[in-house]
Amino acid sequence: MASKTTVTLEPLHHRGQDCLALRFPYSKPLVDVVKQIEHIRFSKTHQCWYVPQRKDLVGEILNTLKGIAWVDYRALRNQQQESVAPPSSKKNMPSAVQAILRQMEEKLHLKGYSKSTCKTYQEQFKLFMLYYQPKPPAQLSEEEIKMYLLHLVEKKRISKSAQNQAINAIKFYYEKMLGQQKATYWLDRPIKEFKLPLVLSEEEVSRILKQVENLKHKAILYTIYSAGLRISEAINLRLTDINSDRKTVFVRNAKGGKDRGSLLSEKLLVLLRTYYKQYRPKEFLFEGQHGEEYSARSIQKILKTAVQKAGLRKRVTVHSLRHSFATHLLEHGTDLRYIQTLLGHNSSRTTEIYAHVTKKGMDKIKSPLDNLDL
């Protein structure tokens, strides 16, 4: 890049979320740099790169592009000046909305919903209430609820996953908090997209894990892959959840409030013993600087760095290790029913998706093209 290109950083509302848009004339070298930014995506609709609107990501963008491109963020600064206290902030939020959100939070906790689910439901229902302010949600008709959902789909163009989150939050309020019957409140669910998970080969997983030198970082990624854990499950592991005698990892209060057991690898056990002697965690297996549970974001950064060092150009996430765990078990002959138990899936249909991505048996099938006399 002989001369610096100007990258315009501006607000963007995309798929129901506040995002930051990066706009610049096409340049392959610059695109390669931009792709290194965490959570970066390209929108065909808006013809720009974008990330969630977060302060830490603004800093990462500026650091990544430093010395490579000029960053014009006047539009973002103007937006911040115009909305010093946004309508959705607690300071300006109507007291009636705040009261209902507090009640919803209490009800969600009483019913044992996870922290992430509680946060998602409250955020989605807050947007719903603000849309119809000052009319109380208890006075809204079924038709008005459907109109709001139609607004999310047609105007906001939110994803099917976000649509389901909005529906679940609304249903929770009317059915769990107001006690209405499902028969009196009905919403058509969006058709769920069938997308195959990103699965790494065993060689790729090995390449990634070999890039990690820090003992604690290595122990975390080894644990996630070897036991097929979600990131939330890994950071909530206690010392007592590792059973060296039975060779099991106990996963407590996982998705849906369920407990389950998973595999404890011999290699992982050796690594964890070395890790314990050096770090001496007291409560959580993987602790932060002050003894709190380890940060999920830190784990994501550890993996991202390892993937880059391994030279992989795939969009690998921590959850990709869980998908790979299940697929590799299937390829080595493990019955789907056991994999379902290890993953903690309620339905076997959820686990069956790994049958679509496994290479088991595929090497024995020949393309019909190979049978042609060409």
The rounded mean pLDDT for the chain is 84
Q: Residue 322, Cβ neighbours under 10 Å: how many?
A: 21
What is the average pLDDT across 240-269? 89
Tokens of 277: 């002697």
| Residues labelled as active-site residues | 230, 255, 319, 322, 345, 354
pLDDT of residue 184: 47
What is the average pLDDT across 345-360? 77
**Residues 110, 35 share a domain:** no
Among 150, 184, 218, identify where a domain stops. Answer: 184
What is the average pLDDT across 174-201? 73
In the predicted model, is pLDDT for residue 10 greater than 70? yes
pLDDT of residue 85: 39
DSSP 236: T
pLDDT of residue 369: 55
Say if 170 falls within a structural domain. yes
With H, G, I as helix, E, B as strand and everything else as coil, classify residue 207.
helix
| 178 and 139 Cβ atoms separated by less than 8 Å | no
What CATH code is carried by the domain that includes residue 221? 1.10.443.10
pLDDT of residue 83: 41
pLDDT of residue 39: 86
What is the tens place of the pLDDT at every residue in 99-146? 999 999 999 988 888 778 888 999 999 999 998 888 999 998 888 888
What is the average pLDDT across 323-334? 90
What is the tens place of the pLDDT at every residue in 36-89? 888 899 988 888 999 988 777 887 888 888 888 888 877 666 555 444 334 445
pLDDT of residue 302: 95
Per cent of the chain over pLDDT 70 is 86
Q: Residue 134, Cβ neighbours under 10 Å: how many?
A: 8
pLDDT of residue 234: 94
pLDDT of residue 4: 72
Confidence class for position 190, pLDDT limits 50, 70, 90:
low
**Residues 327, 296 share a domain:** yes
**Residues 137, 39 share a domain:** no
**Residues 230, 302 share a domain:** yes
> Which residues form the domain of 299?
202-356
Say if 296 falls within a structural domain. yes
**Residues 351, 235 share a domain:** yes
**Residues 207, 64 share a domain:** no
What's the pTM? 0.59
Say if 317 falls within a structural domain. yes
Say if 150 falls within a structural domain. yes
Distances 354 to 148, 271, 326, 350, 365 between C-alpha atoms, Å: 36, 29, 7, 9, 18
| 251 and 241 Cβ atoms separated by less than 8 Å | yes
**Residues 118, 177 share a domain:** yes
What is the tens place of the pLDDT at every residue in 11-32? 888 776 778 899 998 888 899 8
pLDDT of residue 12: 84
Tokens of 312: 């992989």
Q: Among 267-276, 326-335, 349-358, name the one with the lowest average pLDDT.
A: 349-358
What CATH code is carried by the domain that includes residue 115? 1.10.150.130
In the predicted model, is pLDDT for residue 150 greater than 50? yes
Q: What share of the chain is helix, strand, coil (3-state, %, to 5)?
A: 55, 10, 35
Say if 368 falls within a structural domain. no
Q: Where are the beta strands (DSSP E) in the chain?
A: 5-14, 17-23, 41-43, 48-52, 69-72, 242-243, 248-251, 260-263
pLDDT of residue 2: 46
Residue 33 CB contacts under 8 Å (≥ 6 apart), including other chains: 64, 65, 68, 69
**Residues 9, 67 share a domain:** yes
**Residues 344, 236 share a domain:** yes
Among 56, 82, 108, identify where a domain stops. Answer: 82
What is the tens place of the pLDDT at every residue in 77-109? 655 544 433 444 555 678 889 999 999 999 998
Count: domains in the chain:
3
pLDDT of residue 152: 84
Say if 311 falls within a structural domain. yes
Say if 47 falls within a structural domain. yes
DSSP per-residue string spanning 42-61: EETTTTEEEEE--HHHHHHH
pLDDT of residue 367: 60
With H, G, I as helix, E, B as strand and everything else as coil, classify residue 149.
helix
**Residues 305, 228 share a domain:** yes
